[in-house]
Amino acid sequence: MADEQKPTPENMTMLQGFEWYVPADQKHWTRLEKHVPQLKAWGVDNIWIPPACKASSNQGNGYDIYDLYDLGEFDQKGSVATKWGTKASLLQLCRTAQKHGVGLYFDAVLNHKFAADRKEKCLAVEVDPNDRNKETSDKYEIEAWVGFDFPGRGERYSGMKYHWYHFSGVDYNARNEKTAIYKIMGDKSQGWAEDGDVDGEKGNYDFLMGSDLDYAHPEVSSDVLAWGSWLAEQLPLSGIRFDAIKHYSEDFLRKFITTLDERYGGGWFFVGEFWKDSLDDMTRYLERMGRKFSLFDAPLVYNFSQISKASGADLRGVFEDTLVSVMPVNAVTLVMNHDTQPYQALEAPIEGWFKPLAYTLILLRDTGYPCLWYGDLYGIKGEHPFPPSCGGALPKLALARKLYSYGKQADYFDYATCLGWVRYGTWDRRYGCAVVMSNAGPGEKRMHVGEMHAGEVWTDVLGWSDREVTIGDDGFGDFVCGQTSVSVFVNRDADGREKFAEKFDDNIYEE
């Protein structure tokens, strides 16, 4: 007797649940919590939340991290709450997410610390910013902000206090008020991480910013490993996003992940920010990690940026030299994030008209784990505000992924400025979809969706094309899109089509 067919796994989509300029009003957890049911209904399964640990002030996004063990619980650095809110409101977000089947990914900032409580004297040498292995001064005594006592928290959760010998480098000498990159020297300091344990850019890219943690020191590694288990007990998480992983020990990160897997069943998702436009470096890093680990596909973001700015660029090269093209299981695909958004250091501009095409390319194909961005879904605040992008199409594209983007894929990449592809569906998710996009004039593709759909009428779920396509007896249809646009065709009678007529509420800041 033949085995019963297994259900088709459901497509998963994640959301980066913040942008750099979210108002610092300590209400972000509450706003996000209210939108969890809607996000789930439109196809979001997991949310990457911003760094929830206490920053250098209640205005800081958390990458200027002060205390790992303060999730908005203690009166430190000017307030109890972080920029995002209190620990109580974070726990409420967790409860609501659990109720609606949405996982949360924690943003772990483990490379450095900021806003020390006091200065300490230590020996250091200055190094060349472009080659950190090249010393540019003799060893001399500096006064560095490296004393962390956490007076607002005291001994709660961890008794570890940080001193100069727990750090490998700093960027400021308070004695002469000089800014430079200082490598800390001393009997208990190991200097920079060993070659091969961090990225080799700039000679040795151990130092990034602030007070750089030295994971060769056993007290540092023990405390941060203990924090990982503490975090898992405090919050019902589904995974972790690791910040700046090319700047600290690969060996420590493997140990951190292994520890969590062994203690909590191995079901967490782990993704690292290895932001570099080098496919070779990314694949080598993944091979060295030696386990289920993912990276954000930075080369794909740069491809999107370049194609969007070049009139009539060849769309067929959009996946060249990208992580998703060679290691699709390990690739988190994205269009923009908090580092590449406008006015940020790694800004990678993507023209507004191209964003719907870019999101279609990550959401409706058969490879990669796509990540939506809060700024595109809800807009950007701050001094240079931007409205939500994609003309209302982004929630619909996420929903189309959840409902229809299944099964075998057939590509129609035969024309430089007009791409098409078909997803044939599966035995239990049978509707499938047909996609056409153009970065020039109106596009048209004759594509095969299958004889099983003969006689069906397919229409664009985005509503950007009014073409009704009747599928022929041979399974073919003539699908179209507008100028510099995209269309996603699905059987007009398919289950779930009524949802596309609803309005997604993108006004997350409404009181």
Of 227, 218, 213, 226, nearest in space to 71 by CA: 227
DSSP state string for 464-480: S----EEPPTTSEEEEE
Q: Is 273 a catalytic residue?
A: yes
Structure tokens at 493: 């009678």
Q: List all residues 6 or more positions away from 194 whose beta carbon is below 8 Å from its beta carbon.
A: none
How far is residue 257's CA from residue 215's CA, in Å, rounded to a whole number? Answer: 15
**CB distance 477 to 447 below 8 Å:** yes
Helix or strand holding residue 287 (H, E): helix 279-289
Q: Is 506 a catalytic residue?
A: no
DSSP state string for 192-245: SPPBTTB--TTS-TT--SSEEE-TTSHHHHHHHHHHHHHHHHHS--SEEEESSG
DSSP state string for 323-371: HHHH-GGGEEEES--TTTSTTSTT-----GGGHHHHHHHHHSSSSSEEE
How far is residue 197's CA from residue 415's CA, in Å, rounded to a whole number? Answer: 44
Structure tokens at 113: 């610390």
Of these residues, 171, 206, 223, 243, which one is catalytic?
A: 243
How far is residue 174's CA from residue 22's CA, in Å, rounded to a whole number? Answer: 32
Query: Tell me, what amino acid is at 291?
Result: R
Of 359, 488, 363, 492, nearest in space to 436 by CA: 488
Strand partners of residue 433? 423
Query: Do the strands 103-108 and 239-242 form a parallel or antiparallel pair, or are they unpaired?
Result: parallel
**CB distance 309 to 351 below 8 Å:** yes
For tokens 């200027």, the residue is: 64
Of 350, 486, 465, nearest in space to 420 by CA: 486
- What is the set of active-site residues? 243, 273
